[in-house]
């Protein structure tokens, strides 16, 4: 026998503990690579320059809601978009003397956000000066008992709910336009570095009764995963105390905190509030809701997979199964959570396509440009 020939030594069998350790290391490498790949792709998309939009030689007086949080981030989004798209913006809010300010500044347009606390006689006087007025309603169809009495005082009405358009037109409003909100990129964008939050599933929002009733059916299943729920009133949920700090009760999260939680979650649930809710709504006509809520765009802008309940007009904004995933029942939602947590590549592909679509079509400068185009051509 040649001295260079060495019989192979069979590897020693691993103990169960060693096998588990090896599998853990391999899974760690795999998950780390997958996470790094996702963050890299998110960084590429997030770093693309936005499409340039025209800057109009006009002066807009922007009237903020005056309501504070959570409306103040909307005010910021609209105001900064106006400032980037017009020659001059005068910023004020509903608590100021708008007639005096408009008379001194003579803007081409007075744009009001929400307008629920604005004395309508001020808008009437501004229109009497020959200045165009517009309102962008923030909460349709949930407070239509109030908005139905407001809209006739403006030249242009913009609503984020498609089903409200015809109701306002029936009141005699000739310029009613469907204009949903969008994603404000300084607030909602993906976390590019290693995220400080790591969750399987997140839901962030107030515990309206339709949400409580929806979740109570599947809480034990949902909490089998690393799931966290944030928002006010979640003590309404039976057995909420059993889940400890995985249900954060009574916490308002800033947009930046919310975006970090979204981006650090593999799946984010978007469950819309109901248009029928005697405890919180003022919608006597029971106008139904067909349009996606603002969270739809904010979740997608954060670079995560969004599971949303079905809304009739949702496909106008995202392709179900490609850019967003939808569900109709609690059990269907759970089935899809299990599927996408087990199929990482599909989950990431939909998240990336959702982000790409948002950056292309659903940012506030795009929406504000659309509003200005309707008014000024």
Mean predicted confidence (pLDDT) in 310-327:
98
Per-residue confidence (pLDDT) for residue 329, from 0 to 100? 97
Q: What is the pLDDT of residues 196-212, one digit of tens each?
A: 899 999 999 999 999 99
Residue 10 pLDDT exceeds 70? no
Domains, the chain, ordered by start: 56-181+364-376 (3.40.50.11930), 199-361 (3.40.50.2000)
Mean pLDDT score, 230-250: 92
Q: What is the mean pLDDT of the chain?
A: 93
Compute the average pLDDT of residues 312-336: 98
- pLDDT value of residue 283: 94
Region 24-31: mean pLDDT is 53
When pLDDT is cut at 50, 70 and 90, the band that residue 23 belongs to is: low
pLDDT score at 279: 82
Residue of 252 and 184 predicted with greater confidence = 184
Q: Measure the CA–CA gap between 42 and 348, rounded to whole angstroms.
A: 10
**pLDDT, position 250:** 80
204 bridge partner residues: 230
Q: What is the pLDDT of residue 22?
A: 60
- Whole-number Å distance between alpha carbons of 68 and 84: 23
User: How would residue 286 be classed by pLDDT, with cut points 50, 70 and 90?
Assistant: very high
Which H or E run includes 248? strand 247-249
- 259: pLDDT confidence band, cut at 50, 70 and 90? very high
Chain segment 35-72, per-residue pLDDT in tens: 888 989 999 999 988 889 999 999 999 999 999 888 99
pLDDT surpassing 70 at residue 7 = no
Q: pLDDT above 90 covers what percent of the chain?
A: 82
Torsion (CA) 322, 325, 328, 334 in degrees, nearest 10: 130
Q: Which residue has the higher pLDDT, 14 or 159?
A: 159
Q: Which of 9-18, 57-66, 91-100, 111-120 has the lowest mean pLDDT?
A: 9-18
* 24 has pLDDT over 60: no
Q: What is the mean pLDDT of residues 294-319?
A: 98
pLDDT on residue 178: 98
62: three-class secondary structure by DSSP: strand
pLDDT higher than threshold 80 for residue 28: no
Please give the average per-residue pLDDT across 182-195, as a whole number: 92
Q: How high is the pLDDT of residue 71?
A: 93
CA–CA separation, 318 vs 172, rounded Å? 32
Nearest-5° Cα angle at 322, 367 to 258: 55
103-157 confidence digits (pLDDT tens): 999 999 999 999 999 999 999 999 999 999 999 999 999 999 999 999 999 999 9
Q: What is the pLDDT of residues 361-377, one digit of tens each?
A: 999 999 999 999 999 99
Maximum mean pLDDT: which of 23-37, 145-159, 183-197 = 145-159
pLDDT range class, residue 30, cuts 50, 70, 90: low
User: Helix, strand, coil: what percent of the chain each, to 5?
Assistant: 45, 20, 40
Instruction: Please report the pLDDT score of residue 33 as a whole number.
Output: 63
pLDDT, residue 195, reads: 78
Q: For residue 60, what are the CA distances in angstroms to 10, 194, 303?
A: 80, 41, 33
Q: Which residues of 116-140 are buried (b: 16+ CB within 10 A; e: fewer)?
A: bebeeebbebbbeeebbbbbbbbbb
Nearest partner of 191 among 257, 122, 277, judged by Cα: 257
Q: Tokens 């909420």 — which residue?
A: 240
More confident residue, 68 or 184: 184
């Amino acid at each position: 026998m040649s001295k260079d020939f060495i019989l192979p030594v069979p590897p020693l069998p691993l103990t169960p503990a060693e096998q588990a350790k090896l599998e853990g290391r391999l899974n760690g490498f795999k998950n780390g690579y997958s996470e790094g790949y996702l963050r890299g792709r998110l960084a590429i998309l997030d770093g693309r320059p936005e499409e340039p939009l025209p800057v109009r030689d006009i002066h807009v007086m922007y009237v903020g809601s005056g309501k504070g949080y959570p409306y103040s981030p909307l005010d910021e989004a609209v105001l900064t978009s106006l400032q980037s798209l017009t020659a001059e913006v005068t910023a004020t809010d509903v608590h100021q003397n708008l007639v005096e300010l408009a008379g001194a500044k003579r803007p081409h347009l007075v744009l009001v956000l929400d307008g629920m606390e604005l004395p309508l006689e001020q808008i009437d006087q501004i229109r009497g000066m020959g200045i165009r007025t517009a309102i962008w309603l923030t909460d349709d169809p949930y407070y239509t008992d109030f908005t139905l009495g407001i809209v006739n005082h403006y030249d242009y009405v913009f609503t984020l709910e498609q089903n409200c358009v015809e109701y306002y037109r029936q009141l005699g409003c000739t310029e009613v336009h469907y204009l949903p909100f969008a994603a404000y990129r300084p607030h909602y964008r993906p976390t590019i570095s290693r995220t400080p939050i790591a969750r399987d599933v997140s839901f962030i929002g107030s515990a309206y009764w339709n949400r409580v009733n929806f979740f109570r059916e599947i809480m034990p299943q949902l909490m089998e995963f690393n799931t966290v729920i944030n928002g006010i009133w979640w003590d309404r949920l039976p057995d909420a105390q059993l889940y400890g700090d995985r249900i954060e009760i009574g916490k308002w999260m800033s947009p930046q905190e919310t975006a970090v939680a979204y981006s650090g979650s593999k799946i984010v649930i978007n469950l819309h509030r109901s248009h029928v809710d005697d405890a919180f709504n003022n919608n006597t006509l029971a106008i139904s809701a067909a349009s996606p809520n603002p969270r739809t765009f904010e979740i997608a802008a954060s670079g995560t997979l969004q599971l949303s309940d079905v809304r009739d007009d949702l496909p106008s904004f995202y392709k179900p199964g490609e850019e967003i995933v939808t569900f109709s029942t609690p059990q269907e939602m759970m089935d899809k959570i299990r599927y996408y947590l087990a199929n990482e590549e599909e989950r990431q592909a939909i998240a990336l396509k959702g982000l790409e679509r948002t950056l292309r079509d659903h940012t506030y400068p795009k929406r504000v440009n659309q509003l200005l185009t309707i008014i000024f051509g």
